[in-house]
């Protein structure tokens, strides 16, 4: 792109998004006072705002930049990523949304402790939340670095530092209340940022006589051409369909619903919002095939969204639209990173910091620690592919928290040893696969396919472990199982005894 | 609201006087008595467990039904593409069918399934409420 004017526009746009995000955060500061405000916005959030916030938080760098890049590079098979990331909410809706809200757990470790009544299960879950959170945060920070470099030519670490600074300002000053408003704002910003340039691009394409060159390559336009395509596709489907419910920043947001019924209705709106959004990056990928197919050979497909306006339109219009897309991309990094930092630091402060500091102080400190640690990791590991880390985070979530939630909510037989063993086996196997892929040691052949998309192996393994260890230890069923099941499933408007567990109060005696 | 005493509506035609006493009639207000089903569930008797289990089972059956529907439609697409290559060449409005299915149609379908699910899940809960909730 032209170095002068375009960069100025881009910097101004990124600044505008950052200032707006901080402003919404500071506005929220006036309302948030207690620890529960910080964690879950005291549940005073309406359903549309909440659904926007969930979608805004969920649509990360992988969705805003990565999907278009994948469609450009790999064609129709990559459409399974956005389909899976949307269908994950349907699985979450039918199995988890209402019962999780009714459990009154703020976080996944809260849920683990509440359901199987074991502090060890809580600690294992906390470790996994931090692990999945960081796996997901690193690519966000890296995406920010790539974008800032593409827009202004600044070094990669600059973008990561900017995102970390803004997220920290927001988290430390306002907590989740401000994040909720900021996230809702981010969804609509991201939608508009992709929609407006797309309208111009499509008009240009029509004026040029709707060219279709580049769209006819057989292995691009037809599905299932890769080696081991059936395994890889189904493993991806399993990871994304079941991984969404185990993402820490997604789950914590359900507490902001008024009750279980509202949680369900919010999820339906989220499904619709995601479906509308994902039409856009797909279109960018297809247009990229026509106007920017050289990105495939240079391996820079992730920047196709940012480069299309310059290539197809050029001039001042191209500069302005690029700036708008840059702003949208930044919104994507900011919103997902904020949500992840909030949930990881919520878990860190509850389980580690609260011994030494008061609730709010430890929450803020944990936020600082999380962001700084991720920043260091990001700078240290620049060779990592953005899309890989995101999908691997889904695979880890599907292999650990998904069995915990599904069995914990729907099967009375789950015991603490079963839950711990299942999470440990699923976590160890999926994280090992992730490490092998990250270090570039993926072997050839079927084993390589299993390692690069581990979910189809590790998810069943985790389920089988959790069930069989639970059956072996069935004399260790939690003491309050009866009231736990009532709380998870009975609608709130029925007057029933639901047990005394509350994540903020002192912990109940555990078996 | 129910706990508060309601002030009677002013009698038409009669001048309102501060000292006038008015008899309040109507059904008893205040906290409705709990049904025996609710206390069975609280006491975790065998009967109470049966009520809870039937709620959980109906919701689980519904959820598994949704999974089956999604597996038989969206989840069957990779197998269909593999076993029926004619699908790959089919076009609708000039767009190859696999692109149309995965890029567009799948989203409204998922929303539709979700809406049907929510309606049925709430129906299951209303039946439970009718059984257990305040009369």
pLDDT digits (tens, 9 = 90+) for B84-97: 877 777 888 878 88
CA-to-CA distance for A422 and B26, rounded, in angstroms? 58
Closest CA to A239 of A437, A375, A413: A437
Please give the DSSP secondary-structure letter assigned to residue B11. P
Note whether A224 contacts B99, CB cutoff 8 Å: no
ipTM: 0.88
Contacts B78 to A, Cβ<8 Å: 223-224, 229-230, 233-234, 237
Reported confidence tier of residue A178, pLDDT bands at 50, 70, 90:
low
Reported confidence tier of residue A407, pLDDT bands at 50, 70, 90:
very high
Percent of chain A with pLDDT over 70: 88
pTM of the full predicted structure? Answer: 0.86
Reported confidence tier of residue A157, pLDDT bands at 50, 70, 90:
confident
- Measured CA angle at A464 (ends A461, A467), to 5 deg: 145
Q: Which of A134-138, A143-147, A460-464 has the highest mean pLDDT?
A: A460-464
Closest CA to A101 of A347, A266, A272: A266
CA-to-CA distance for A166 and B60, rounded, in angstroms? 43
Residue A85, both tokens: 């990331």
Note whether B102 contacts A224, CB cutoff 8 Å: no
Counted residue by residue, chain B has a size of 135
Residue A331, both tokens: 């919104």
Percentages helix, strand, coil for chain B (3-state, rounded to 5) are 60, 5, 35
Contacts B118 to A, Cβ<8 Å: 93, 264-265, 268
Query: How many CA atoms does the CB half-sphere of A239 hold within 13 Å?
Result: 30
Residue A46 reports pLDDT greater than 90? no
Note whether A410 contacts B106, CB cutoff 8 Å: no
Query: According to the model, what pLDDT value does residue A372 have?
Result: 85
Query: According to the model, what pLDDT value does residue A42 have?
Result: 47
Contacts B129 to A, Cβ<8 Å: 491, 493-494
Residue A202 reports pLDDT greater than 90? yes
Query: According to the model, what pLDDT value does residue A450 have?
Result: 87
CA-to-CA distance for B72 and B70, rounded, in angstroms? 5
CA-to-CA distance for A301 and A307, rounded, in angstroms? 10
**H helices within A30-79, ranges in order?**
35-40, 47-58, 61, 67-74
Query: According to the model, what pLDDT value does residue A43 have?
Result: 54
User: Min CA distance, A492 vs chain B (Å)?
Assistant: 10
Residue B11, both tokens: 């009698």
Q: Which of A54-58, A421-425, B75-79, B100-104 has the highest mean pLDDT?
A: A421-425
Q: H-helix or E-strand containing B92?
A: strand B91-92
User: Min CA distance, B4 vs chain A (Å)?
Assistant: 20
Residue B17 reports pLDDT greater than 90? no
Residue A36 reports pLDDT greater than 60? no
Buried b (16+ CB within 10 A) or exposed e, B85-104: eebbeeeeeeebbbbbbbbb
User: Min CA distance, A125 vs chain B (Å)?
Assistant: 25
The region that residue A228 occupies, defined by phi over 0 for left and psi between -120 and 50 for alpha, beta otherwise, is: left
Reported confidence tier of residue A343, pLDDT bands at 50, 70, 90:
confident
Residue A330 reports pLDDT greater than 90? no
Query: According to the model, what pLDDT value does residue A418 have?
Result: 96
Note whether A493 contacts B133, CB cutoff 8 Å: yes
Please give the DSSP secondary-structure letter assigned to residue B95. E
CA-to-CA distance for A372 and A171, rounded, in angstroms? 13
Contacts B60 to A, Cβ<8 Å: 410
Reported confidence tier of residue B2, pLDDT bands at 50, 70, 90:
very low
Counted residue by residue, chain A has a size of 511
Note whether A496 contacts B67, CB cutoff 8 Å: no
Burial class (CB in 10 A: 0-12, 13-18, 19+), A149: middle
Query: According to the model, what pLDDT value does residue A504 have?
Result: 56
Mean pLDDT of A19-40: 58
Query: According to the model, what pLDDT value does residue A395 have?
Result: 94
Closest CA to A159 of A389, A382, A390, A394: A382
Chain segment A62-104, per-residue pLDDT in tens? 888 888 988 998 888 889 999 999 999 999 999 999 999 999 8
């Amino acid at each position: 792109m032209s170095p002068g004017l375009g960069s100025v526009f881009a910097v101004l746009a990124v600044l505008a998004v950052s200032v707006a995000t901080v402003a919404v955060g500071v506005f929220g500061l006036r309302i948030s006072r207690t620890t529960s405000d910080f964690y879950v916005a005291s549940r005073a959030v309406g359903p549309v705002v909440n659904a926007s916030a969930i979608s805004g938080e969920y649509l990360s760098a992988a969705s805003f930049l990565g999907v278009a890049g994948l469609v450009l590079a790999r064609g129709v098979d990559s459409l399974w990523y956005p389909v899976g990331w949307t269908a994950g909410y349907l699985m979450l809706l039918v199995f988890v949304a209402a019962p999780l809200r009714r459990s009154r757990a703020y976080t996944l470790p809260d849920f683990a402790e509440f359901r199987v009544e074991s502090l060890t299960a809580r600690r294992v879950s906390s470790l996994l939340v931090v692990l999945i959170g960081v796996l997901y945060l690193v690519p966000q920070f890296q995406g920010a670095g790539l974008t800032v470099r593409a827009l202004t030519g600044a070094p990669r670490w600059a973008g990561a530092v900017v995102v970390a600074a803004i997220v920290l300002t927001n988290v430390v000053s306002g907590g989740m209340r401000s994040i909720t408003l900021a996230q809702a704002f981010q969804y609509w910003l991201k939608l508009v940022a992709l929609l407006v340039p797309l309208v111009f691009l499509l008009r240009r394409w029509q004026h040029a006589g709707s060219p279709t060159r580049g769209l006819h390559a057989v292995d691009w336009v037809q599905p299932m051409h890769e080696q081991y395509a059936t395994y890889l596709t189904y493993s991806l489907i399993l990871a994304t369909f079941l991984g969404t419910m185990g993402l820490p920043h997604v789950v914590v947001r359900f507490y902001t619903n008024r009750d279980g019924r509202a949680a369900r209705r919010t999820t339906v709106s989220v499904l619709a919002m995601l479906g509308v959004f994902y039409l856009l990056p797909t279109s960018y990928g297809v247009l990229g095939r026509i106007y920017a197919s050289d990105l495939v050979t240079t391996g820079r497909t992730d920047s196709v969204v940012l480069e299309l306006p310059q290539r197809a339109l050029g001039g001042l219009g191209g500069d302005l639209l690029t700036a708008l897309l840059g702003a949208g991309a930044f919104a994507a990094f900011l919103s997902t990173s904020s949500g992840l930092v909030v949930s990881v630091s919520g878990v860190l402060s509850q389980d580690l910091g609260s011994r030494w500091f008061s609730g709010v102080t430890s929450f803020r400190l944990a936020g600082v620690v999380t962001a700084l640690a991720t920043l260091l990791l990001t700078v240290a590991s620049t060779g990592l592919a953005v899309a890989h880390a995101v999908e691997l985070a889904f695979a880890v979530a599907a292999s650990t928290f998904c069995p915990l939630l599904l069995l914990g909510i729907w099967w009375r037989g789950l015991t603490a040893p079963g839950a711990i063993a299942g999470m440990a086996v699923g976590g160890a196997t999926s994280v090992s696969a992730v490490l092998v892929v990250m270090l570039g040691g993926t072997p050839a052949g079927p084993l390589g396919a299993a390692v690069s998309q581990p979910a189809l192996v590790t998810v069943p393994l985790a389920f089988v472990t959790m069930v069989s260890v639970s059956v072996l230890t069935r004399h260790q069923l939690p003491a309050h199982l009866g009231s736990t099941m009532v709380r998870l499933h009975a609608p709130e408007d029925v007057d029933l005894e639901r047990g005394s567990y509350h994540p903020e109060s002192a912990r109940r005696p555990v078996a | 609201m129910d706990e508060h005493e309601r002030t009677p509506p002013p009698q038409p035609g009669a001048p309102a006087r501060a000292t006038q006493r008015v008899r309040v009639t109507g059904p008893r207000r205040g906290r409705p008595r709990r049904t025996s089903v609710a206390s069975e569930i609280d006491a975790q008797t065998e009967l109470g467990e049966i009520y809870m289990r039937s709620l959980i089972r109906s919701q689980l059956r519904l959820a598994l039904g949704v999974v089956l529907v999604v597996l038989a439609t969206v989840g069957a697409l990779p197998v269909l593409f593999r076993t029926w290559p004619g699908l790959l060449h089919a076009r609708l409005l000039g767009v190859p069918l696999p692109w149309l299915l995965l890029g567009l149609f799948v989203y409204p379908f998922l929303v539709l399934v979700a809406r049907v699910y929510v309606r049925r899940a709430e129906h299951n809960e209303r039946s439970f409420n009718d059984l257990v909730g305040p009369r």
